[in-house]
Amino acid sequence: MDLSLVNSIDFKGYAIMSEIFDGRFSETEYMTTLNAKLASQYPAHIAQLQQMTKSVLSRENLEGLVIHSGQEIKAFLDDNCYPFKVNPHFKYWLPLIDIPNSWLVVNGEDKPTLIYYQPVDFWHKVTPLAESYWGEFFTIKILTNASEVDQLLPYDKKGFAYIGSHIEVATALGFDAINPEPLLNYIHYHRGYKSKYEHECLRQSNTLAVKAHQAARNAFLQGDSEYDIQQAYLKSIGYGTNDTPYGNIVALNKNCSILHYMSLDKTTPQVHQSFLIDAGANFNGYSADITRTYSYKNDKFAELIARMDKLMLNAVAGLKPGLSYVDLHIETHRAIGQVLRDFNFITVDADTAVESGIISTFFPHGLGHHLGLQVHDVGGFMADERGTHVNTPAEHPFLRTSRMIEANQVFTIEPGLYFIDSLLADLKASANGDQVNWQNVDEMRCFGGIRIEDNIIVHQSHNENMTRDLGLS
């Protein structure tokens, strides 16, 4: 493959992806090119992490950080373990997500040390240490027995902070500084700004998720059950159940009104009316988080979806450096009030609905959140590196970020409009119940609700909608 040709391709628009799927380029050729791109971006990413580490260690009067990948946790009264989830601080440095009992030692100046766990084990598959673009940036030590890690860690741990979830392990090893809050605040604040390497990883996770979303939509249109739709999603990208960054929400009909529905009914409903899927994918430990809602027929609910889609894209356009995410949520909140009025679900104008608070019945969650190493990424409520908390308005308690919008941040935008029986019952019994056209609302209950979610990189001059750039409408 002529790499000069590939380098001329607009990766931001994913022009190359269509070529993969139509057979012009093989998967091997594409991955070779992608790895070359990641290799060119990774040095700046590591340099950024080194500088951040050096600054926070100086501020907190520490010598270094010891970052634990984590370890498997056995189920109660069992010898089987829960699915392993790596410490996000570990995968921040390198794209290893399936290696428990491994460690990083970093000080911001010297080459970081990776203590890579590779036991002699005939019971389980041992992940070999593969050559990759990141290897030259680490001094690598092999650990064959997890209990002997102290032989490879710094002898004097007084100047080192442990970062990880296994407090008992850190204590047993002799660490005094365990997840110190000022240090974590500093790192979490800076994690809000993504490097070019991180942007590329997020684009690739969106690539996987979009392909799977398209497969799920097709399964819905052919009349499959929730369970079968989930299987179509996973199969399309070669995932097992535990490979997704969060439990997929795959809901049909009235189940779309349950915000975190995960039951996966195996019974095919007698009638397919609506389908809501909130599902993601991982690439190098970075998460995609995409939601779509579909109507089985070209009906009023389909019209409502189309209107909410326009509203969502308008909210995306409002992501601009220097503006408030809270203000954007409030603007979107009012815009949903206008949708409710235009579709005759409420009998008052949008401003009156905002004042009375009835819009929250139909839109009971926040507009979105930061996205990255975690689906709901950290630092969303921080005003500065000290971790100063920015409160959300009392009227909007479910917002997941109150931080100012800045370049290089990555967000989800996910407005919703739902017909939730319990919330509607509360509204009907309230003093504002007469502001609702109950006949029209009742007609929508069988559809459950709508949520549409895209993943956005905020650049200084423009927004990059990773999800739409891949052609998922």
Q: Which two tokens stand for residue 230?
A: 């989930």
Closest CA to 261 of 291, 281, 238: 291
Give φ, ψ of 287 to 5 degrees. -105, 140
27-191: CATH class? alpha beta
pLDDT of 24 reads: 60
pLDDT of 125 reads: 73
55-93 core/surface letters (b: 16 or more CB in 10 A; e: else)? ebbeeeebebbbbbbbbeeeeeeeeeeeebebbbbbbbb
Distances (CA, A) of 163 to 36, 69, 184: 31, 9, 9
Q: What is the CATH architecture of 196-469?
A: Alpha-Beta Complex (3.90)
**Residue count of the chain:** 473
CA-atom Rg of the chain in angstroms: 24
Give φ, ψ of 387 to 5 degrees. 85, 20
pLDDT of 4 reads: 29
Instruction: Walk along the chain (473 residues) in steps of 10 and give the mean pLDDT of each run.
Output: 30 39 68 91 98 98 98 92 95 95 97 94 75 93 95 95 97 97 98 98 98 98 98 97 95 97 96 97 97 97 98 98 97 98 98 97 97 97 95 93 97 98 98 97 98 98 97 94
pLDDT of 16 reads: 38
Sheet hosting strand 410-413, strand order edge to edge: 368-370, 410-413, 454-458, 463-465
pLDDT of 26 reads: 76
Return residue ranges of the chain for CATH 3.40.350.10: 27-191
pLDDT of 71 reads: 96
pTM: 0.93
Crossing angle of helices 196-221 and 27-60, rounded to 10°? 130
Q: How far apart (Å, rounded) are the C-alpha atoms in residues 42 and 36?
A: 10
* Residues contacting 423, CB < 8 A, separation 6+: 361, 362, 364
Q: How far apart (Å, rounded) are the C-alpha atoms in residues 177 and 164?
A: 11
Q: Which two tokens stand for residue 3?
A: 């790499």
Return residue ranges of the chain for CATH 3.90.230.10: 196-469
* Residues contacting 242, CB < 8 A, separation 6+: 83
pLDDT of 6 reads: 31
